[in-house]
Amino acid sequence: MLFNSFSFLFLYLPVVLLGFFGLARRSKTAAAAWLALASLVFYGWWSVAYIPLLLASILFNYGAGWRIGHSATPGARKRWLIGAIAADLALLAYFKYADFFIGSVNALSGSQLEALHVVLPIGISFFTFTQIAFLVDTYQGKVSEYRFVHYLLFVTYFPHLIAGPVLHHKEMMPQFDQDASYRPSRANFAIGLAIFAIGLAKKVLIADNLAPHAGFFFDSTEQPSLLLAWGGVLAYSFQLYFDFSGYSDMAIGLSRLFGIRLPLNFHSPYKAVNIIEFWRRWHMTLSRFLRDYLYIALGGNRHGTARRYANLMTTMVLGGLWHGAGWNFVIWGALHGSYLMINHAWAALAARLRLNTGNTAWRAAALLLTFGAVCVAWVFFRSADFERAITIVRGLFGAYGVGLPDSIGNHLGSLRASLERAGVDFYLGGGSRFVQTWSWVALATALAFLFPNTQQIMGRYGPALDYQLARDGGAGKLALQPSRRWAAVIAVLCLGSLLSLSRPAEFLYFQF
């Protein structure tokens, strides 16, 4: 079931809300159980066959967590932790990486091992990482509550189940237990619906209109000239940006309807002035998980520069593999690992040289360089194979020249001759798609770089669990406030989005 579907908006969500708040009048436990059951129905809408797998994972990790928390000796607690995490990773490896491993062995050795053709259960990466975090938090003494119904809700909670954010037990349990979460609130409904409407508009009106242009470009086999290459790559970069940003907003908005605040997961990452900052803004809860449970566990920056860089590269390569079982994801992760190493080395050098990197011109150049590097990495993330990715990257750097559709050239007058002398080629066909692609890219660029994000717009209402308006600066005159003007804006966004829901498209992060 998709957040951006009529069945979810006009059937599932109203029934779940009415049942939750109706039962809450009698019992918080019954209301929590109802929400957990509704979340299982939400998951089963995709595939009933994998509900037993989800429940088995929940029962196993709940039992393991209880044993970790109640074992008498540190050694026993550690053995339970290692065994449970190993079992979780083995399950994830089988479903997500078995065929990738077999295919890699066949390619390297020339063997003919038969693929298992395992169907990937939706959301398995997210509910596995969520439970690994629970196990580690339990081992570290951060978990004190073991009520099963709350644990079941913690894992299955439908706003985050399919594509995040990755939750911490200590963040959610106090909220599941507070009385305010079980009473309907006009403020929560107004705030939640506004956030959801903005996220829905990002997905339906922006990301889904960029998708055909990105898909056409990456599915093509032609050698792209400079403008075609950048048009296609930017179309995908912004499609992924608004798709994931939209999902993150919708998850936060939906959860707020139930009086529950989710952690912030997406915060204008394309405004980052370096790759370190980018990863503090993109998929923030995954970055937090990789930092806390992988990078720091490997030693972090505690054992010298060389070890630090090795830990960064290992973390990012494994983070790439988390996104998908393919060498393209390994390359994408390795690129970001390299970016991070360069970023840390440059920061150390700039500090020693006492360079002024805070002025406007420097920050603008850093932003463009960071954004360009991210876009180059997205090529490997999206491309079907390595050869196509290399062809596109060559096109980004002008290896196949600069071209414009002839239909555009006919409107340039004397400028056309000047462009031809400068080496610009004019080709037949493709004018309409060229103009449409760059028009959508221009709109997406303006929205991503010039406008405040959803958290800033909603900042005064505490939109996310860890959002601090004072630290972020807010949205100024574009900050939402109770007014007829803003009511009209939200209504227009809802109406436009609903009129575009005839063919709801899945969120891109569902495949990871």
Catalytic residues, by residue number, are 323
Helix 124-139 / helix 74-109 crossing angle, nearest 10 deg: 150
Counted residue by residue, the chain has a size of 512
- Residues with Cβ within 8 Å of 19's Cβ and at least 6 positions away in sequence, in order, are 34, 38
- Helical residues (DSSP H) of 397-505, grouped into ranges: 406-409, 414-421, 431-450, 454-457, 469-472, 484-499
Rounded Cα–Cα distance for residues 259 and 55 (Å): 25
Q: Name the E strands within 368-410.
A: 402-405
Contact 391, 223 (CB under 8 A): yes
Distance in angstroms (rounded) separating the CA atoms of residues 126 and 122: 9
Amino acid of residue 156? T
CB 169 within 8 A of CB 137: yes
501 exposure class (CB count in 10 Å sphere: 0-12, 13-18, 19+) = middle
> CA–CA separation, 179 vs 289, rounded Å?
29
DSSP state of 47: -
Report how far apart the first and last C-alpha atoms of the chain are (Å, whole number): 16
3-state secondary structure 269-336: HHHCCCHHHHHHHCCHHHHHHHHHHHHHHHCCCCCCHHHHHHHHHHHHHHHHHHHCCCHHHHHHHHHH
Q: Dihedral, CA atoms, 149, 154, 157, 161, nearest 10 degrees?
A: -130
**3-state secondary structure at position 427:** strand
Residue found under tokens 């690994």: 132
Cα torsion through 374, 295, 122, 199, rounded to 10: -50
For 42-80, letters b (16+ CB in 10 Å) and e give bbebbeeebbeebeebbeebbebbbbbbebeeeeebeeb
Q: Residue 296 contacts by C-beta under 8 Å, 6 or more apart in sequence?
A: none
Q: How far from 373 is each of 155, 274, 338, 345, 381, CA to CA, in Å?
A: 35, 10, 11, 16, 13
The DSSP call for residue 402 is E
- Tell me, what amino acid is at 230? W
